[in-house]
Chains A and B, each alone.
Chain A
Amino acid sequence: MSTEPDKYDLQGCAQLQQEEWEILESIHPDCLSRDSSSGFIRLEVPVELAESTCVTIQTGQVDPESSYHPGPSCPKALSLASLPPILLDISLPPTYPYTPPQIQTIRATYSWLRFDDSELRDYLGRKWEKGEGVLYTWVECIRSGQFLDELQLTQAENGRRTIRIHHPMPGLIKPVLESYNASTQAARFSQNSYECEVCLTSIKGARCVMLLCGHVFCRSCLEDFWKLCIKEGDVGRVGCPDPGCVKEQREANEEEVRRVVTEEEVLRWKWLRAKRAVEKDPTVVHCPMAQCQTPVPRAPNVEEGSPYERLRTCPECGFSFCAYCKHAWHGPVATCPISATKAILTEYMALPEGSAERKQLETLYGRVALQKLVDQYEHEKKFREWLAQRMGTPCPGCDLPVEKASGCNHMTCVRCQQHYCYRCGAKLDKIHPYKHFSTPGIRCFQRLFDEHIDIDEWQPVEGFNVI
C-alpha cells in the first residue's frame, strides 16, 4: 500500500473510488451528488441529534464584523432533533485514496453555523489515512454532530449534551432552525410505521396522528372515535384514547381536534365545550339583553366581597350589567333597586344555612356580598323594631321616624314641615294646630301633654305651701 504516489495504479485508484462511492450511496443516498467528469463531489450532510437536544444561540465572539451588534449575548434555547445540512465540496485527486482528498469549500446551509473552516478542514484531514477511503467517516462525523465537539460548541449539562451556536442574529436564525427541525421531524414521522392500538394495525406515519401527549393513533380511528363523541355530545371523551390519558381526563385541544374532524364538527365540539363550561360554572349569569342571552361568568381576579363581584360584561354584545338586578351597570357604590336585592335576599334567607342551594347562590353572587345583604337586612329589621318600640308615630307626610324626648304632642316635621299629632299621627292644620287638642270629642282632647313624668314634675313640692 505505502509506495510512492507516482507509482500508483490509477486504474486501481479509480476502482477503489468507485467502490467507496457505491457503498456510500447505498448507505446515505440522500447526502451525495457528484460531477463524475471533473471528480468533484458534494456531500450534503444533515446533523442528527439525540431526541430534543438543547441548542442555544448566542451573539458575538465568532465574527468580528458582528461587533456592531453590541449588547449582551442573548442565549436562546431551542429543543431540536436535527440541524440543517453541512455542505462539503470535495475534489478527489485521481490518486485518492493514496493522496488526501481536497476540501474545496465547507459551509452550513442557511449559514446557521459560522466557523473558522481551517479548523474543521484540519480536523477532517486528520481522519484520512493513506490508502483508506475517508468519505464515510466524514459523513458520520458530521451526521452525528461529532464535529461540533471538535469546534468546542458543545458542553455537557446535567449529563446531557447541549450545543451552543454563535450567530450574529439569533432572532433570524432561530425560526430557520425550528422550521427545519419541524420539517425533518414530520418527514421522519410520516416515513415510520406505528401500531395503532385502536384498530390493532400497523400503519404508516403519514396516515397517523401524534397527539400532544406523544401517543400515536391512526387518523381514521381517532376520527371515528371523536366524531362519535361529538355526535353524542360526550365532549369530555374527545381526547387521547390511551387508558392513562383517559384516567387523567386529558382532553384534546382545538389544534388537535381540527387536525382530525371536519370544520362543522369542530364548531359543534366548541359549542358543546362552551355549554359544559356554563353548566359547570356556578357564577354564570345570562346576559339580560333579550336577543343575546349569552352566559357571562364572573370576571376572574375579582376579590371576594368586592362590589365588582356584581359586575358582568357580556363577551358577545359588550353589555355591562349588574348580576343582582340585571340592569345596566350602576357602578360599584350605588345599590340596586330594592326590589332586586330583596328578591335575592328573600330567596337566600329562605334556604337553610349550609344547604347546597345556599352555596350555589353564594357562588353566584359572592358569599361576602350576600352576607353583607343579610347583615344589612338584619340591621334594618332590628332598627325598625327598635323604632317601633322607642319611637312614636312617624311623620304622616314623609314617614320620617321621630323620637320625642319631651315637649308637647304637636309636632312639626323637620323634613317636610308637616304638622301632626305625636299621639295619633293625624295631620294637623298648619294655622290652628291646637284645635286637635282643644276640641271636645276628639280622642286627643286635653292631651297636648300626656307624659306622666312631666305632670309629676309640675306637682308642687311637699311643704311648698309652708314657705
Chain B
Amino acid sequence: MDARLRRVNKEIADCKNDKQSSVTIDLVDESPFHLIGSFDGPEGTPYEGGRFQVDIVIPDNYPFQPVKMKFITKVYHPNVSSASGAICLDILKDAWSPVLTLKSTLISLQSLLCSPEPRDPQDAEVAKHYMTSKSSFEDTARYWTMIYAGGPGKEGLGKGAKGGPRDEIAMAGLDRAHVAQFEALGFDRAKVIDVLRRLNYRGANVANINDDRVVEELLK
C-alpha cells in the first residue's frame, strides 16, 4: 500500500547490492525514513581520503518531494554551511525529480565536492575564501577533511584527526603570521582568529583591509 516505503526499501536494498560504488546507506534507528548516507571524498580534490556522512530524512511525499539531506561530517566548501552542514544544491530544491534516488543524490553531492559553485554560496565566508585564494582554500578544506572526515591531511601521512590538538589557525584558513601580529597587540587568540576569518583576511585581500579596521573589529 505504502508506495513510499516500498520504494525506499528497494533503494536501500539496491545500494546494499552495489559493491562497486563507495556510496552506502544505513538506518539510524528502526525507521526507514531517517537514514545516514556516506561516500568517499572525490579523488583529486581536497576532500580525497575523507569519508563524508550525510543525514537523510525522507519526507512524507517522497519521491514526489525532494529528500532532505545535510552533511553530518563538517565540510569546508562554498556550497555547504560550515556550521550546520546545510547544502545548496538545485536538485535538493526546485530541480528535484521523482526519478532521482537516494544513491544518485548522494553521488550528486559527491560531485558537488568536485565542482564548487562559489557564486551561489551556502556559506558566504567560505565562498569568499575560495574566490580570494583557491590554494589557501584548498589547504583549509584538506585540513578539515583530515580533522573531521578522517582524511590523510596535508602531509599525506595519515596523521588523522585523533592525535594532537586542532590547529585553529589552519581550521580558519588563516596565515600564522597575521594571527601573531594581532595577538601581539594583546588580543585573545580565539578572538583574533574569529575576526580575521570574518574579514576574509587572506591572500590578496589583506592589502584591502586596514589594520585599524581589524583593531576596530577586535575591540567590539
Contact A246 B96 (CB under 8 A): yes
Contact A198 B98 (CB under 8 A): yes
Contact of A243 (CB < 8 Å), options: B7, B10, B61, B97: B97
- CB contacts (< 8 Å) of A198 on chain B: these are 7, 63, 98-99
Contact B99 A197 (CB under 8 A): yes
Is residue A221 contacting chain B, with contact meaning CB distance below 8 A?
A: yes
Q: Is the interface of A mostly helix, strand, loop or mixed?
A: helix
Contact of A221 (CB < 8 Å), options: B10, B11, B14, B98: B98
Q: Which of A87-95, A223-231, A367-375 contacts B (4 or more CB under 8 A)?
A: A223-231
Given that A199-B6, A224-B3 are known contacts, is A243 also in contact with B64, CB under 8 Å in the complex? Answer: no
- CB contacts (< 8 Å) of A241 on chain B: these are 97-99
Given that A199-B7, A200-B10, A200-B11 are known contacts, is A246 also in contact with B97, CB under 8 Å in the complex? Answer: yes
Contact A199 B3 (CB under 8 A): yes
Given that A199-B6, A199-B7, A200-B7 are known contacts, is A228 also in contact with B61, CB under 8 Å in the complex? Answer: yes
Contact A228 B100 (CB under 8 A): no
Q: How far is the CA of A247 from the CA of B97 in the complex (A)?
A: 9
Given that A242-B97, A246-B96 are known contacts, is A229 also in contact with B7, CB under 8 Å in the complex? Answer: no
- CB contacts (< 8 Å) of B180 on chain A: these are none
Residue of A nearest to B108 (CB): A243
Is residue B190 contacting chain A, with contact meaning CB distance below 8 A?
A: no
Is residue B131 contacting chain A, with contact meaning CB distance below 8 A?
A: no
Contact A229 B64 (CB under 8 A): yes
Among B53-68, those with CB < 8 Å from A are: 61, 63-64
Q: How far is the CA of A225 from the CA of B4 in the complex (A)?
A: 12
Contact B95 A247 (CB under 8 A): yes
Among A282-320, those with CB < 8 Å from B are: none
Interface residues contributed by chain B, number (CB under 8 Å): 17
In the assembled complex, how far is the CB of residue A239 from the closest CB belonging to chain B, in whole angstroms? Answer: 10
Contact B7 A246 (CB under 8 A): no
Is residue B91 contacting chain A, with contact meaning CB distance below 8 A?
A: yes
Residue of A nearest to B14 (CB): A200
- CB contacts (< 8 Å) of A228 on chain B: these are 61, 64
- CB contacts (< 8 Å) of A221 on chain B: these are 3, 98
Among B89-106, those with CB < 8 Å from A are: 91, 95-101
Q: How far is the CA of A243 from the CA of B105 in the complex (A)?
A: 12
In the assembled complex, how far is the CB of residue A261 from the closest CB belonging to chain B, in whole angstroms? Answer: 14
Q: How far is the CA of A247 from the CA of B3 in the complex (A)?
A: 25
Among A209-236, those with CB < 8 Å from B are: 220-221, 224-225, 228-229
Q: How far is the CA of A391 from the CA of B98 in the complex (A)?
A: 76
- CB contacts (< 8 Å) of B10 on chain A: these are 200
Residue of B nearest to A247 (CB): B95
Among A179-229, those with CB < 8 Å from B are: 197-200, 220-221, 224-225, 228-229
Q: How far is the CA of A228 from the CA of B98 in the complex (A)?
A: 12
Residue of B nearest to A239 (CB): B97
Q: How far is the CA of A199 from the CA of B63 in the complex (A)?
A: 9
Interface string of B1-19 (1 = CB under 8 A from A): 0010011001100100000
In the assembled complex, how far is the CB of residue B38 from the closest CB belonging to chain A, in whole angstroms? Answer: 22
- CB contacts (< 8 Å) of B97 on chain A: these are 241-243, 245-246
Which among B6, B98, B100 has the greatest number of chain A C-beta atoms within 10 A? B98
In the assembled complex, how far is the CB of residue B146 from the closest CB belonging to chain A, in whole angstroms? Answer: 34
- CB contacts (< 8 Å) of B6 on chain A: these are 199
In the assembled complex, how far is the CB of residue A107 from the closest CB belonging to chain B, in whole angstroms? Answer: 48
Q: Provide 28 A-B residue pairs closer than 8 Å at the C-beta atoms, listed in order of the A residue.
A: A197-B99, A198-B63, A198-B98, A199-B3, A199-B7, A200-B7, A200-B11, A200-B14, A220-B3, A221-B3, A221-B98, A224-B3, A224-B64, A225-B64, A228-B61, A228-B64, A241-B97, A241-B98, A241-B99, A242-B99, A243-B91, A243-B95, A243-B97, A243-B99, A245-B97, A246-B95, A246-B96, A246-B97
A-B contacts besides A229-B64, A243-B95, 15 pairs, CB < 8 Å:
A197-B98, A198-B99, A199-B3, A199-B6, A200-B10, A200-B101, A224-B3, A224-B64, A228-B61, A242-B99, A243-B91, A243-B100, A245-B97, A246-B97, A247-B95
